[in-house]
Structures are given as C-alpha cells and as structure tokens.
C-alpha cells in the first residue's frame, strides 16, 4: 500500500469518485472544487467557469483553431480551476444516427465505448467513438459517432497545456438525450393514466451552439432522425428552420414538439410555432442550457 493510498483514505478522498470517473456525474466528482466547462465549435471555443458552490461563473469565447485558442487561454483557464479539470463538449465532427437492432446485452453501453466493434458489429466504423441511447419500447437506438482522431487530438492539446479532461461529450447529443429521457418519462406517465387517445407523434428537437438534432417518434417507435453540426448562427437561423420544418409538417397537426435549446437557438421555437399551427410545443430549455447540462451530468 502506498503512502498516497493511506493519505486518500484519511482525507476521505478514497470515498469520493475520481475526477475522471465517467460513471459519476460532474457535480459529485467536483464538490467544493472549481472546474471549467468548454464547448468546441468548428471555428472557435466558448467556455464557462464553475465555482466551488457549483454555480456558473465567468464565461467567454474565442475564435480560431483549437490548438491556438488553448495555447492562448490555457493559463487563464487553469486559473479558473482548482486542479485544471475541465469538461469538454464537442460540437462538430460528429454524427447522430438512428439505428435498429443494436445489442442490449448487459454492459453493452460500456462496451460500446471501449470496444465498439464488439457491441455494434458491422455498424462500427474504424476510427470512431460511440455513445448510444436506446429506445426502451422498441429496437431502435440513437447512435452518436465522433472521430476518434479528433478526441485524441483534443486530449493531446489539453494535456500539453496542463489541463485535465474529466469528460469529453457531444453537447448536442447530451441535450438531445436529456430531452428524450424527459419525453419517455412523460409518455410513461401518460400511459399510466390509461388515456383512450393515443399520444400521437412526438418530435424531439435539440439545438446547441449552431447544431441541430431532430427525431420523430410515433408512439413507441422512433421513426426518423436528422442531425447537422454548424448549421446555423444566432444571426442566421434559416438553415435550422429548413431542416426542422419538413419533419414537423410531416408529423401533421396534433403532433407534439419537445424543444430544447441554448439561448442562441431559442428563436427557432418561435419560428416553428408561427408556421406549425395545431402543434403543441413543449419547451424544456433551461437557462444556460449546455452549461447546465455539463455541470449537472
């Protein structure tokens, strides 16, 4: 037994999850410690600090290549954290797709991270990292694929700058998963109520930092999913509108929309509402959408 192990037991550190333990949420991993939340876009980086009380603090953004931005900002970022720990959200170089018949064996979700070939079979591509969200009521799943090379590049750049990465995730996929969870929960409550009318089609829309993910669910089936990264800007929302509206229109009147976005995408909801009469829109967006998600999960 090393001295460090004894020290960790006596300081109760051994009873807390390790900072890079991905099975534990961020809030539990960093109690009373400052950390940094970072979002990577194709043409820039935005960030938000998290203080010891878990309250969002200083924020900023800087355009440019990731390596240059990290090189410029590393010292300031380290100053915003206690030990240089940060959570990174990638918002480009990812694909979210709808898949069917993925294995759901016990431990498959963990296996998909470490050995995607074993979990996905022929659907696994070389050089990708995956995360999966299963539909518990059917055989469909929402699959996230991110370039492994990009992940390694991020890790290399951050480690070289003295920053420690506690999590790398796709912010859009995280918000989408959160919205799907809430939709499934609401649907379960509706079914428990023994309503005679079917719930109808539900469209889940997630907008994050210019990226969009839309999925149509028809009762217990997930039928269609589209996602695009770097699709819109706060000044140019039309591309997002153009990809969302066909699915909303296809769902028809009486369908429901579960909408989640960050502040930049909030106006998209208004555009949908004005053009899709008869569609109920449930906005579950939170203030500081992406940052709230990263700090809580």
Partner 1 sequence: MENPFQTCHDLKTDRPDIGQPLPRILALLPVAFVLTVLGAIALNALFFFQVRNSEQAAEEWKMKVAEETAKQKEIAAKTEDIKDEERRANDVRDWVEGSRQIQPLAVSIARSMDVKSSIAELSLLREPENPKQIKLGFKFDNGGQKQLDTTLQAVNALGYRSYSANQTAGKEGSLDYNATLIWQNGNKESLNLTANDE
Where do contacts with partner 1 occur on this chain (CB under 8 A)? 9-12, 14-18, 20-26, 28, 88, 90, 109, 113-114, 129, 131, 144, 146, 151-152, 155, 165-170, 173-174, 177, 181, 293-294, 297
Give 3 or 15: the residue with its C-beta nearer to partner 1.
15
Give 10 or 55: the residue with its C-beta nearer to partner 1.
10
Compute the least distance from the CB of residue 274 to partner 1, in Å: 33
Compute the least distance from the CB of residue 235 to partner 1, in Å: 29
Compute the least distance from the CB of residue 154 to partner 1, in Å: 8
Compute the least distance from the CB of residue 251 to partner 1, in Å: 26
Give 125 or 241: the residue with its C-beta nearer to partner 1.
125
Compute the least distance from the CB of residue 16 to partner 1, in Å: 6
Give 77 or 232: the residue with its C-beta nearer to partner 1.
77
Give 109 or 224: the residue with its C-beta nearer to partner 1.
109
- For the chain, the residue count is 297
Rounded Cα distance, 290 and 260, in Å: 10
């Amino acid at each position: 037994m090393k001295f460090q192990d004894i020290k960790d037991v006596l300081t109760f550190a051994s009873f807390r999850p390790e900072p890079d333990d991905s099975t534990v949420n961020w809030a539990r991993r960093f109690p009373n410690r400052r950390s940094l939340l970072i979002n990577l876009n194709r043409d820039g980086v935005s960030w938000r600090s998290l203080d010891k009380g878990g309250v969002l603090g200083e924020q900023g953004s800087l355009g440019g290549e990731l390596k240059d931005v990290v090189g410029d900002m590393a010292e300031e970022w380290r100053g915003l954290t206690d030990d240089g720990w940060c959570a990174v959200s990638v918002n480009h170089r990812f694909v979210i797709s709808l898949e069917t018949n993925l294995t759901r064996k016990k431990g498959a979700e963990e296996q998909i991270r470490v050995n995607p070939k074993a979990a996905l079979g022929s659907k696994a591509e070389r050089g990708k990292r995956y995360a999966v969200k299963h539909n518990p009521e059917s055989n469909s799943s929402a699959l996230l694929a991110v370039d492994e090379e990009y992940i390694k590049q991020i890790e290399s750049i951050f480690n070289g700058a003295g920053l420690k990465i506690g999590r790398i995730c796709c912010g859009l996929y995280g918000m989408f998963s959160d919205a799907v969870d809430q939709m499934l929960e609401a649907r379960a409550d509706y079914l428990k109520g023994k309503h005679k009318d079917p719930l109808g089609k539900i469209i889940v829309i997630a907008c994050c930092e210019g990226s969009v993910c839309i999925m149509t669910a028809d009762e217990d089936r997930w039928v269609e999913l589209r996602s695009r990264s770097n699709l819109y800007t706060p000044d140019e929302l039309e591309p997002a509108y153009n990809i969302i509206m066909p699915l909303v229109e296809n769902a028809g009147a009486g369908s429901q929309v579960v909408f989640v976005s960050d502040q930049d995408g909030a106006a998209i909801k208004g555009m949908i509402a004005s053009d899709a009469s008869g569609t109920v829109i449930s906005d579950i967006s939170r203030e500081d959408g992406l940052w709230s998600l990263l700090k809580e999960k």
